[in-house]
Amino acid sequence: MLLSGYTNTVYRILIIDDDIQNIFVLEDILSPLGNIYFSESGSNAFALIDKIKPDVILLDIEMPDMDGWQVCRALKADPRYSDIPIIFITGHTEPEFERLALESGGVDFITKPFNASICCLRVHTQLQFRQQNHLIVKAKEELQQLVNQVPMLITYWDSSGNNLFSNDYSGNWFETLIGHIDGQHISTIFPPELSAAVLRHQKQTTSEPLKYIVTVKNQLGMSFYEVFQSKMKSAVGIDGYLVTLVDVSEVKHAKQALYSEKERLRVTLNSIGDAVIATDTRGLITFMNPIAERMTGWRIKDALHQKIETVMQLRDSNTRHTLLNPLYIALREQRIVAMALNSQLTARGGQVFAVEDSAAPIRNENGEVIGAIMVFHDVSEAMAMAMKMSHLANHDQLTDLPNRILLQDRLSVACSAAESFGNKAAALLVDIDHFKYLNDSLGHQLGDEMICLMAQRLRSLIPPSYTLARLGGDEFVILMSDAHSVEASSVLATKLVEAMHEPFVLAEQKFSVSVSIGISVFPNDAKDAEELMRHADVAMYRAKQEGRNRFSFFSHDLESSIRERHQLETCLRNAIIHDELFVHYQPKINLATNEIVGAEALVRLTDSEGLFISPNEFIPLAEETGLIIKLGKQVLYKACQEAKSWLNMGLNIPISVNVAVAQFADPHFANIIEKALHDYQLPAELLELEITETALMIDAADMQTKLYQLKSLGIKISIDDFGTGYSSLAYLKKFNVDVMKIDMSFVKDMLNNKHDYEIVKTIISLGQSMGLALIAEGVETNEQRQALLELDCLMGQGYLFSRPLSASDFNAFILQHKG
């Protein structure tokens, strides 16, 4: 019987075939056997093989880039994959093909069309063979390890006391075991005391093990061996007896030393300066030394068998919440556990001690945890002094803000964290304009008061997670750690400059001051904390040179891009607030009849001069700033309103609206859709929502639930830009969608690029097999239109028919089209 035994294995089956229909057929046949993976190209399969480590590969022979023979030979030549069984699949039945398959390293041959039961049996057989091979190799390794590592001497002797077997090949137990000892008498191999004991007990030996202890004298003193002796018959039929030895010398010596050790331990625990409390595995006290009695206020006779939390009451010095005694953690996790910081011990009489130290499990000679020990001491005075010294060393004496030393440490931590998590860190160096003249005119005392008031105002303007430090004089630094964008530093700097317009009151007089701020961003401007501060200083002097009362970035390009982005964000916010977004409509056309079968709503934005801004610029910004939800809602309402106006004109034109991931994440999104349909009395079947395939895959389970809610309203769901993301067919078939849109990047070059043509063809075939309506985007020529019709794609949109049009132009287009 194999030591490892059988395990419940989930097999990984890889299908390499350029025909997607074959893949679907094989997936249905083989899915009961395990997880199915596939590749439509031989050359692309290698990366997938390295990733999933398949248990069996079904390989098509005839493929365009690499045929099956080439793929098979390449896999067999690679030691990493050479043991993976390969089954060839082909439509050929000639013996020559089967011979070539076996010569290339294949293990079996499946012909098309597939016989489901035979195909399944052939694959299952290879999977069983592979599992058996793994188990055999594993069992051999385990057996060898068992013999080599068993911590005892195993010997077998015939009835006359001659040796038949020993597992000690190197003389680890006795030097007399080295070399060829088969046939030698036990008295020449074992020490005299041991051999005499074995021979003496031979008459008493039965099939049940006889156990006894033998003491052997040696150069180091005394050794103790526990002997197990039993009668048995070997595989070749020789009667004899099995003798196994276990060296128990350490245990014996340990027991002999236990009494003296316990006495030394008792004296030590009673005389040390730390408090010691021991418990059993349930946390019941078994021992306390005199220091523990004094600090807890409990006598040992009263504390015995009490719960440790009753005797040793620990609380957090800040929150006063009761703390879990670390002794319980030491028992549960069987490791040394330090006491929580800021721990307080409340004695029985009410006295409070600040304590620290640790708890550790107590083990017996077998390594079993039999209890735990708590060692602690009073650190009240030391902690108070340490806290005071640490605070003075790291804080400014005038403002009590972090000083340069503490700031440098936090800058280093912030830069390291930003580098690790892909975030940013920003340093804002704030300098009071003309403070020297103010300080000289007011006097140093009022100047110090001004510094304190400035510190208070700055602290009130920043989140608690930011660090505000004083470098000295009139210079402050604000550290923005874990910033997700450079723009956040610009927003904060603007806020700080504007907040200084409020006068300060000193000696019942108002004084107006301004600040100059230099901003440096990691990793954009600096590679480390030191450079970050140096560049912030440069930027601050640039702000002073440009007129003070302002902020400046170290990078001119960055500052320029931030200002442009800020202008764009302002424009977008104003457009949303004042309902100034435009919606244009691009018609969807029946490619065969030239009828208008729908329209896609596309948002447009203009700048202050009335020029259109590209959606590629403001849509990503809307998503980043969270404005996409308000933008999407406004576009949805305008589109529903326009579709209702078409309906009033007697035109049944469905309208499709693009939906961002953030909108789907909104728990009230379904209610927003329902309200829009109700407000404009628009039939639900005239509204279609478009979402990208990549968005569908972010949280497939949650998306499936939300799609079901939306579908229950009666609207349609469309997958936009299909083929450009990472699609999982297993997930895709679970989504209840109605329309699949073929991305314009494939349609554009489908007549010039064979691969794009095949992708379009495959997407259409896939959509048809799933019962989805198909719309091709970016149709610009009649040749593309004709090619799509030949592939059974009946709908399209693009410049061949019309660009996106304003509402009035679209109405004119409808009338012209009808004419």
Region 413-430: what's the mean pLDDT? 92
DSSP 127: H
Q: Are 41 and 18 in contact (CB under 8 A)?
A: yes
**What pLDDT score does 338 carry?**
85
Q: Got the DSSP string for 596-622?
A: EEEEEEEEEEE-TTSPEEPHHHHHHHH
Q: Which residues partner with 805 through β-bridges?
A: 585
In a domain, 262, yes or no: no
Is residue 79 located within the same domain as residue 154? no
In a domain, 233, yes or no: yes
Q: How confident is residue 305, by pLDDT bands cut at 50, 70 and 90?
A: very high
Q: Can you read off the two tokens belonging to residue 204? A: 């008493």
Q: Can you read off the two tokens belonging to residue 120? A: 């399944």
pLDDT > 70: percent of the chain: 94
Is residue 613 located within the same domain as residue 709? yes
Q: Which of 156-165, 231-240, 589-598 is predicted with the least confidence, judged by mean pLDDT?
A: 231-240
Q: Are 637 and 647 in contact (CB under 8 A)?
A: no
> Using one digit for the tens of pLDDT, what is the confidence trace for 253-292?
777 777 777 777 777 777 787 899 999 999 999 999 999 9
Q: Check pLDDT > 70 for residue 7.
A: no
Compute CA 390 distance to the chain's CA centroid, rounded to the nearest angstrom. Answer: 37
Cβ-defined contacts of 208-215 (< 8 Å, 24+): 213/248
Report d(CA 343, CA 341) in Å as an integer: 5
Which residue range(s) make up the domain with 415?
395-554
Is residue 682 located within the same domain as residue 720? yes
Instruction: Tell me the CA distances in angstroms from 176 to 170, 187, 243, one per residue in order.
Output: 10, 10, 16
Q: Check pLDDT > 50 for residue 119.
A: yes
Q: Edge to edge, what strands does the sheet with 475-483 contain? A: 467-472, 475-483, 424-432, 515-522, 550-553
Is residue 181 located within the same domain as residue 108? no
Is residue 352 located within the same domain as residue 473? no
Report d(CA 495, CA 493) in Å as an integer: 5
736 Cβ neighbours under 8 A, 6+ residues apart: 704, 707, 708, 711, 717
> Using one digit for the tens of pLDDT, what is the confidence trace for 136-147?
778 767 765 676
Count Cβ atoms below 10 Å from residue 95 Cβ, excluding itself.
Answer: 8
Q: Are 83 and 56 in contact (CB under 8 A)?
A: no
Q: How confident is residue 652, by pLDDT bands cut at 50, 70 and 90?
A: very high
Q: Can you read off the two tokens belonging to residue 400? A: 């009590």
Q: Are 161 and 183 in contact (CB under 8 A)?
A: no
Q: Check pLDDT > 50 for residue 527.
A: yes
In a domain, 562, yes or no: no
Region 676-697: what's the mean pLDDT? 87
**What pLDDT score does 2 carry?**
46
Is residue 612 located within the same domain as residue 745? yes
Q: Edge to edge, what strands does the sheet with 108-111 contain? A: 34-39, 11-16, 56-60, 86-90, 108-111
Report d(CA 228, CA 222) in Å as an integer: 20
Alpha helices in 209-334 (DSSP H): 249-271, 290-296, 300-303, 308-311, 326-333
Q: Are 599 and 587 in contact (CB under 8 A)?
A: yes
Instruction: Tell me the CA distances in angstroms from 783 to 41, 386, 675, 780, 798, one per residue in order.
Output: 29, 83, 43, 9, 13
pLDDT > 90: percent of the chain: 42
Q: How many CA atoms lie within 13 A of 204 on its CB side?
A: 11
Residue 765's nearest CA partner among 757, 745, 736, 727 is 757
Q: Total structural domains in the chain? A: 5
Q: Which of 384, 403, 429 is the last residue of a domain?
A: 384
DSSP 804: -
- CATH number of the domain bearing residue 75: 3.40.50.2300
Q: Got the DSSP string for 435-474?
A: HHHHHHHH-HHHHHHHHHHHHHHHHHHS-TTSEEEEEETT
Region 459-482: what's the mean pLDDT? 92
In a domain, 731, yes or no: yes
Q: Check pLDDT > 50 for residue 1.
A: no
579 Cβ neighbours under 8 A, 6+ residues apart: 634
In a domain, 267, yes or no: no
**What pLDDT score does 587 carry?**
96
In a domain, 3, yes or no: no
Report d(CA 560, CA 490) in Å as an integer: 11
Region 225-236: what's the mean pLDDT? 81
- CATH number of the domain bearing residue 380: 3.30.450.20
| Residue whose entry in the numeric block shows the structure tokens 């493929």 | 63
Is residue 291 located within the same domain as residue 326? yes
Does the predicted TM-score (pTM) go above 0.85? no
Ranked by mean pLDDT, the top range of 28-32, 176-180, 731-735 is 28-32
Q: Are 483 and 448 in contact (CB under 8 A)?
A: no
Q: Rg of the chain over CA atoms, in angstroms?
A: 41
**What pLDDT score does 310 carry?**
93
Sign of CA dihedral 489, 491, 493, 495: negative
The string over 246-278, giving b where at least 16 C-beta atoms fall within 10 Å of a residue's C-beta and e elsewhere, is ebebeebeeeeeeeeeeeeeeeebeeeeebbbb
Region 219-245: what's the mean pLDDT? 81
Is residue 793 located within the same domain as residue 656? yes
Q: How confident is residue 731, by pLDDT bands cut at 50, 70 and 90?
A: low
Q: Are 633 and 671 in contact (CB under 8 A)?
A: no
Q: Which of 346-360, 455-469, 776-790 is predicted with the least confidence, judged by mean pLDDT?
A: 346-360
pLDDT: which is higher, 175 or 63: 63
Report d(CA 152, CA 244) in Å as an integer: 7
Is residue 25 located within the same domain as residue 166? no
Work out the burial of residue 376: count CB atoms within 10 Å of its CB; fewer than 13 is exposed, 13-18 middle, 19 or more buried.
buried
Report d(CA 552, CA 538) in Å as an integer: 9
**What pLDDT score does 306 carry?**
94
Q: Check pLDDT > 70 for residue 236.
A: no
In a domain, 482, yes or no: yes
What does pLDDT average to over the chain?
87
**What pLDDT score does 114 carry?**
86
Is residue 682 located within the same domain as residue 790? yes
**What pLDDT score does 604 carry?**
95
Residue 322's φ and ψ, nearest 5 degrees, are: -65, 135
216 Cβ neighbours under 8 A, 6+ residues apart: 191, 193, 194, 222, 223, 224, 225
Residue 504's nearest CA partner among 446, 547, 463, 440 is 446
Sign of CA dihedral 769, 770, 773, 775: negative
The string over 37-66, giving b where at least 16 C-beta atoms fall within 10 Å of a residue's C-beta and e elsewhere, is bbbbbbeebbeebeeeebbbbbbbbebeeb
At 796, which helix (H) or strand (E)? strand 795-797
Q: Check pLDDT > 90 for residue 519.
A: yes
**What pLDDT score does 682 carry?**
95
Is residue 689 located within the same domain as residue 598? yes
Is residue 87 located within the same domain as residue 190? no
| Residue whose entry in the numeric block shows the structure tokens 């499946």 | 110
In a domain, 252, yes or no: no
> Using one digit for the tens of pLDDT, what is the confidence trace for 372-386?
999 998 887 777 777
- CATH number of the domain bearing residue 663: 3.20.20.450
Q: Got the DSSP string for 648-659?
A: HTT----EEEE-
pLDDT: which is higher, 457 or 180: 457
Instruction: Tell me the CA distances in angstroms from 564 to 495, 558, 607, 618, 622, one per residue in order.
Output: 18, 10, 12, 12, 14
Q: How confident is residue 175, by pLDDT bands cut at 50, 70 and 90?
A: confident
